[in-house]
Amino acid sequence: MSVPGDGLVEIVGTGGALPGEPPPPDETRAVSHGRLVLARFTRHRLAMVGLAVLVLLFVVAFLGPYVAPWSYTKKDFTAFLQPPSSQHWFGTTQIGADVFALTLRGMQKSLIIGLLVAVISTGLAALVGTFAGYYGGWRDKVLMWGVDLLLVLPSFLIIAILSPAFRSGSWLIFVFLLSAFLWMVTGRIVRGMTLSLREREYVLAARYIGVPSHRIILRHILPNISSLLIIDATINVSAAIISETSLSFFGFGIQPPDVSLGTLIADGTSSAFTFAWLFLFPAGVLVLIVLAVNLVGDGLRDALDPNSVHK
Amino acid sequence: MLGSTGRVPAGTPVLEVSDLQVTFPGRETPDVRAVRGLSYTLAAGEVLGIVGESGSGKSVSSLAVMGLLPGTAVTTGSVRLGGQELLGLKDRELAQVRGKRISMVFQEPLSALTPVYTVGDQVAEAVRVHNRVTRQAASARAVELLDLVGIPYAATRAKAFPHEFSGGMRQRVMIAMAIANDPDVIICDEPTTALDVTIQAQILEVLQAAQRETGAGILMITHDLGVVAGLADRVLVMYAGRPVEVGSVDDVYYRPRMPYTMGLLGSIPRVDERGRSALVPIEGTPPSLAALPTGCPFHPRCPMAIDLCFTSEPALERVGGPSHAAACHLSGVIDDQDLGPVDVYPVPEIPAAAALRLPRPDRPHVLDVQGLVRHYPLLHGAVIKRQVGTVQAVDGVSFDIREGETLGLVGESGCGKTTTLLEILELKAPQQGRVVVLGRDTSGLTGQQRTALRRDVQVVFQDPMASLDPRLPVGDILAEPLRTHGTPKDQVWPRVHELLRLVGLQPEHASRYPQHFSGGQRQRVGIARALALEPRLIVLDEPVSALDVSIRAGVVNLLEELKTRLSLSYLFVAHDLSVVRHIADRVAVMYLGRIVEIGDVDQVYGAPAHPYTQALLSAVPVPDPRKERARRRILLQGDLPSPADPPSGCRFHTRCPRFAALDENARRPCLDLDPGLVPIAEDQQAACHYAEPLRVV
Amino acid sequence: MATFLIRRLVNYLILILVATTGAYFLAATSLHPRANVAGRNPPPPVAVVDRQLTALNINDKTPVLDRYAIWVKGVAHGDFGRTWDNNSVNAEMGRRMGVSLRLLFVGTVLGSGFGVLVGAYSAIKQYRPSDHAITLVSFLVLSMPVFVLAVMLQIAAVKINKTVGHQVFQYSGETSAGLTGGFWTHLGDRLQHLVLPTLTIVLGQIAIFSRYQRNSMLDVLDSDFVRTALAKGLRRRAALLKHALRTALIPAATFFAYSFGLLLVGATFTEKIFGWHGMGEWLIDSILTNDINAVVAISCFTAVLVLIAGLLSDVAYAVLDPRVRST
């Protein structure tokens, strides 16, 4: 069993390439092509909408608390379980906490975790993938066996088992655990691409010039898979957010007094039928974030890697 | 014959194309005008060759005729098949015509067949689409067709999948599908470009047989002037989306009236001509179809261009003979003075190399390869990977290169020539045998010594796009070898600029990315990188085969010039025997991991002694219609045997025409004894029990 | 082929062994069944607790290696030990496995089947309104974590039930407790319970598979062999169905293995939220109750399922692609 979202990485991330058989890297790119990429992206209307929504959500999450009438720690003892009003935009909870302020707080955590996990896991995938792919041989075998093992390990269960550790410790441990179980599919794709890049004539040429292997990986391999990495990192943001909220939903993720969208939704679920605002607002925001990220990722793939599919 | 529509008498026009225009509207980019007014008529039983380089619009126009262009393309004009207008037909109506009255053979036999169905089913499908016949009848007909195009054991092979067929065999399957319904027109879009030269000869033979069988008109699209010379009745030359010259083969080949056609004919090296005079290069590159120059699109490259050429595009007008026309303002002048390529284009002078003035035995070795062996495990399956045998890619290859000379290593795909080259470049101890570079045995090198030796041995690869990192500016690409080998910082950029000038580029080009260059320019960058460390030996892996014909000559000339100026030695690996004859001093012919013949280039080409060399040379088409029509090819039977399971005795005996002519007793040595290289002439050795020189070109 | 399958099986067994062992050590060191009784009032005597825990082989005072040895011996005899409240893990697992597999089977079959169809349709209609609509909806579903989708479906069900004035959809458990009636009543009741959880799983699967199939279909739409089929005289639709779709199914087969992990997690949440007493629900409950032996048994179960999915996917690949079949 793997962390929720693995599949998502696969579909939205690789654009129909066979696992282990990556699309040929796009070669028609350079400085002035940056403009072409930008043009392709801006033409993608849904992606632009996604980007706008995402920017807006970030602004709201991090600047909102300064304008909102209530902070997430303050409780309104005059209003328990009130539906949305001009005072409490998203309503209040059983104990009089402001749902809007809580949602903002949860958004901050979920967004930060999503970004961190995406960056760390994509970095890990790039490192392991290029290393295994370029050097090959026993190193490749060992690393790929490790990837298989991680894919077989029920990651949801492992993180859940270890959750007491971050119950007391920092949520950063949670971030590292999430990253540790999110990189394998990307890592495999990176390895596959490296395998084909390794046979590329410009890599061979560098080798026959005498350029050392680590320099070849840094200068020739990594830059040429960068579009894949950018796309996958984007998609991993949404995968990470879904994983984080799922774990938090069942109490295995972010621990009180911290809040994330997952814990908020969990709290709201029990009263979802009667006090719908407790559930609908955090859930709506969550879906909006993930949807926006996915749309941006889709647009990025269209723009960066037009040869792969959406031609 | 099933589905016969009644044969159209030879000479009746079957396909009339007039003023065909195809435009691909751009979104971020300007519109691409791929075809700009193409007209021709094809008669039953006729072969019309359409010749042009990549981007000339030749393939797009044929897809437009078939109605197979993507929906985004805008096609105008008229395409009439036996009087019926095809443009604007609905899917259903087109489907009734396609495959029945007009059919097509595509360039890429590897991807043109659906991988998940057997070839028999795919041929039978072509039958069933247009005929109400039972499944059994269609299958039987499919076997019949496969047999007709020369697939051995057709009944059994019909049950095989495309991946179990070689490229040549797949192309035969394509031809079988194309003739299944006895069409009036067969369009062949570069049908042999992806194939080896001996297989090409087989396929051209099959196409001729197919034409005899169906009496169809054949539209033969190619970039290779040699292929159509012996096959076509008429030739149409395309440039930048327009026909620029059309006429009978003899008119176009012997009396070209458009400078572009002249340049094309002058720039091809000939397998049948000795002598080392430089080729006639056409300067510049074909224009982008999205940004055509005003006036005649050829004027930027034309040595004869006058003011008029800059402003007005010439129409295709009659010149000379009744059916001969050219689109050139000066075709009248050319015709009056009967100018030839050499009169129009300046021929560069290339001095002979100083080192070559010494006799061969007196020059030192640059490379000495003895008994080189490279075997690797044969793995099978995509999901299921396991070893099923050993590929004997290179199996005991010996040759040497002396200072200042070029050794051409030729052979068809799968013969082991590229493996040989990569083994040498590794500079490591081979599995067996010895590689000595500049007097140093590679087996004894330390890591440091190996890196140091890399300065002296450099490589130029085939694909000028794939061999340059698209993420680095050209300057950085050229600086990489310098930095790696510790060139002082302040000397790196002056050297980069010097290198760019050396290969005919500008120092300002250093800041541009590879994709901003044309194929020929990129290959020049690749050559400059190889020269950066002032090597003594350059290994060239098919350095011009990915380039357009008109650009090839310039790169070949550059290589020759550099060799002389910098006293380099070349190991030139190629499948194109004409280029090798032009550039090499000596040649080695490989077959199934072995060298079967080696020696002086003129000696080997002039009087090849090994039956494989003879077949290879006789298969190379020559851009000379009369000669081509008179030639008799030595056709090889079947495909290359698997290098994992080479035949006993002489590896060539399974396909050897000489072996086939021998009696039982005389065959014995070929079956049992592996022949070694034996001297035939002063500098010529062949590995054949019955070696006998024979003139074939 | 046979040797290959055996080698692959052995590799899988080793992977399962390592994964399960890893899970055992993690669970045995991170979960504290002692805490389950710590809150009791009056606190039971330590000796009694120790005895009980030792009997269940989950006493943290026994060195973990010793506990592992005992556990391995049990597993070798096919016994996964006892739960923290002294029931047989095997018996519990036997009961729950059926529940989960029912859900997973339906989810896989309906999800991948419809997903492939929807994706192929979307690819053929690329950039038409129907394609845009399918794309948008599948993105929306993909952006919805299972627990949100499940609760939304529940809310919708409540709304519908209220409007109709009749319990059309059931959203808790597999059957209604204390139901009396004949076979048809029971079947109807089961179906009422089945709809929402199945929908939760299937919707997600359709969204994933349709995206994937759309991409792999687009990859082959412009391929040379489709052009060849058209050149033969096939109508566009026939060429697309017979040549493009058939070939584009091949990557979907390999994708099946990748998507299976996601399906398992989804099923876990679905069971928990809809109150189905399956393996997924047990997983969450066993961690919350510090039930070490149950946790390990469940991880073994999931590892086996993931690898069976991998194997099935390989077989499907070989069936669909003659290039793999031939050796």
* B383:C318 CB<8 A: yes
Please check whether residue A39 touches B, CB under 8 A. yes
Average pLDDT, consecutive stretches of 10 residues, N- to C-terminus, chain B (697 residues): 58 93 84 92 95 89 93 92 92 94 90 94 95 95 94 92 91 94 94 88 91 92 90 94 94 93 89 76 83 90 92 91 91 89 80 70 92 85 65 92 94 90 92 93 91 94 88 92 92 94 90 86 94 94 87 90 91 92 94 95 94 94 91 86 89 93 92 92 93 87
How far apart CA C67 and CA C70 sit, in angstroms, is: 5
Beta bridge partners of B18: B78
SS3 B398: strand
pLDDT at residue B385, as a whole number: 61
Characterize B645-672 residue by residue with b for buried, 16 or more Cβ atoms within 10 angstroms of its Cβ, and e for exposed: ebbebbbbbbbbebbeebeeeebebbee
Beta bridge partners of B299: none
List C-alpha distances in Å: C211 to A7, A10, B282, C140.
Answer: 11, 10, 49, 12
For A191-211, what is the mean pLDDT?
91
Please check whether residue B469 touches A, CB under 8 A. yes
| pLDDT tens, residue by residue, C2-38 | 676 787 788 888 989 999 999 999 999 888 888 877 7
pLDDT at residue B503, as a whole number: 92
Chain centre to alpha carbon of residue A52: 18
How far apart CA B584 and CA B576 sit, in angstroms, is: 12
Share of chain A above pLDDT 70, in %: 85
How far apart CA B7 and CA A157 sit, in angstroms, is: 74
**Which amino acid is residue C29, in one-letter code?**
T
Beta bridge partners of B600: B586
| Inter-residue contact B238 to B56 (CB < 8 Å) | yes
Domains along the sequence of chain C with CATH: 1-84+289-327 (no CATH), 101-277 (1.10.3720.10)
For residue C321, give both structure tokens: 């692609």
Residue A172 confidence (pLDDT) above 90:
no
For C274-291, what is the mean pLDDT?
90
**β-bridge pairing B365-380 and B432-437:** antiparallel
How far apart CA A203 and CA A42 sit, in angstroms, is: 33
Rg (CA), chain C: 24
- Positive or negative torsion for Cα B123, B127, B130, B136: negative
Domain with CATH 3.40.50.300 in chain B: 13-232
CA distance A198 to chain B (A): 12
| Inter-residue contact C198 to C110 (CB < 8 Å) | yes
For C279-287, what is the mean pLDDT?
90
How far apart CA C270 and CA C107 sit, in angstroms, is: 11
In this structure, chain A runs to a length of 311
How far apart CA B179 and CA B149 sit, in angstroms, is: 10
The residue behind tokens 């019926």 is: B84
Please check whether residue C228 touches B, CB under 8 A. yes
- The size of the A-C interface in CB pairs under 8 A is 170
Helix (H) or strand (E) holding B95: helix B91-97
CA distance A219 to chain C (A): 30
| Inter-residue contact B637 to B661 (CB < 8 Å) | no
Task: Give the count of beta carbons closer than 10 Å to the beta carbon of residue B398.
Answer: 16
| pLDDT tens, residue by residue, A100-111 | 888 888 899 899
Closest to A156 measured CA to CA, from A31, A97, A258, A244: A244
Output the CA torsion B433→B536→B445→A199 (10° steps): -80
Instruction: Say which range, C37-41, C139-143, C307-311, has the weakest mean pLDDT.
Output: C37-41
- Please name the member of B28, B485, B513 whose beta carbon is closest to the beta carbon of A210: B485
**β-bridge pairing B325-326 and B457-460:** unpaired
SS3 A190: helix
SS3 B397: strand
Residue C327 confidence (pLDDT) above 70:
no
Q: Which strand ranges, in their side-by-side order, compose the sheet holding B84-85?
A: B32-43, B13-24, B74-81, B84-85
List C-alpha distances in Å: B42 to B104, B186, B502, B632.
Answer: 15, 10, 48, 27
The CATH code of the domain at A31-304 is: 1.10.3720.10
For residue A167, give both structure tokens: 């119950």
Q: Is C112 exposed, middle or buried (0-12, 13-18, 19+ CB in 10 A)?
A: buried
Beta bridge partners of B540: B460, B572
How far apart CA A75 and CA A167 sit, in angstroms, is: 24
Q: Give A-chain residues touching C284 at CB under 8 angstroms.
A: 160, 250
* A185:C19 CB<8 A: no
For residue A68, give both structure tokens: 């909102």
Beta bridge partners of B541: B573
Helices (H) and strands (E) in chain B, counts: 25, 24
* B98:C314 CB<8 A: no
- Pairwise pLDDT comparison (C209 vs C40), residue with the higher score: C209
| Inter-residue contact B229 to B198 (CB < 8 Å) | no
| pLDDT tens, residue by residue, C140-191 | 999 999 989 998 998 888 889 888 888 878 877 777 777 777 888 888 888 8
Which residues are within 8 A (CB) of B552 and not within 5 positions of it... i.e. 6 or more apart? B267, B268, B279, B520, B544, B579
pLDDT at residue B476, as a whole number: 93
- Please name the member of B129, B161, B164 whose beta carbon is closest to the beta carbon of C233: B129
Mean pLDDT of chain A: 80
- Pairwise pLDDT comparison (C136 vs C323), residue with the higher score: C136
Residue A6 confidence (pLDDT) above 50:
no
How far apart CA A214 and CA A235 sit, in angstroms, is: 28
**Which amino acid is residue B404, in one-letter code?**
G
- Please name the member of B99, B106, B386 whose beta carbon is closest to the beta carbon of C233: B99
Cis (ω within 30 of 0) for the bond into C42?
A: yes
Question: Domain boundaries in chain A?
Answer: 31-304
CA distance B145 to chain C (A): 15
CA distance C151 to chain A (A): 7
| Inter-residue contact C22 to A153 (CB < 8 Å) | yes
pLDDT at residue C1, as a whole number: 58
| Inter-residue contact B511 to B525 (CB < 8 Å) | no
For A64-83, what is the mean pLDDT?
77
Closest to C267 measured CA to CA, from C215, C188, C198, C318: C198
Q: How confident is the model at residue A23 (pLDDT cuts 50, 70, 90)?
A: very low
* A290:C143 CB<8 A: yes
Please check whether residue A6 touches C, CB under 8 A. yes
Q: What are phi and psi of C78, to 5 degrees?
A: 80, 20
Beta bridge partners of B441: B436
| CATH fold for domain B13-232 | Rossmann fold (3.40.50)
pLDDT at residue B243, as a whole number: 95
- Please name the member of B27, B466, B533 whose beta carbon is closest to the beta carbon of A202: B466
Between the two ends of chain B, the Cα-to-Cα distance in Å is: 40
* B114:C243 CB<8 A: yes
Ranges of H-type helices in B383-518: 417-426, 447-454, 474-484, 489-502
For residue B661, give both structure tokens: 């002519």
Mutate to test the interface with C, among B62, B384, B385 (most CBs of C within 10 A): B384
- Please name the member of B91, B111, B388 whose beta carbon is closest to the beta carbon of C223: B111
| Inter-residue contact A222 to A16 (CB < 8 Å) | no
Q: How confident is the model at residue A241 (pLDDT cuts 50, 70, 90)?
A: very high
Please check whether residue C142 touches A, CB under 8 A. yes
| pLDDT tens, residue by residue, B77-107 | 999 999 999 999 999 999 999 999 999 999 8
Report ipTM (2 d.p.).
Answer: 0.85
Chain centre to alpha carbon of residue B203: 15
Beta-strand runs (E) in B352-496: 365-380, 386-402, 406-410, 432-437, 440-441, 457-460
How far apart CA B141 and CA B147 sit, in angstroms, is: 10
Subunits with at least 3 CB pairs below 8 A relative to chain A?
A: B, C
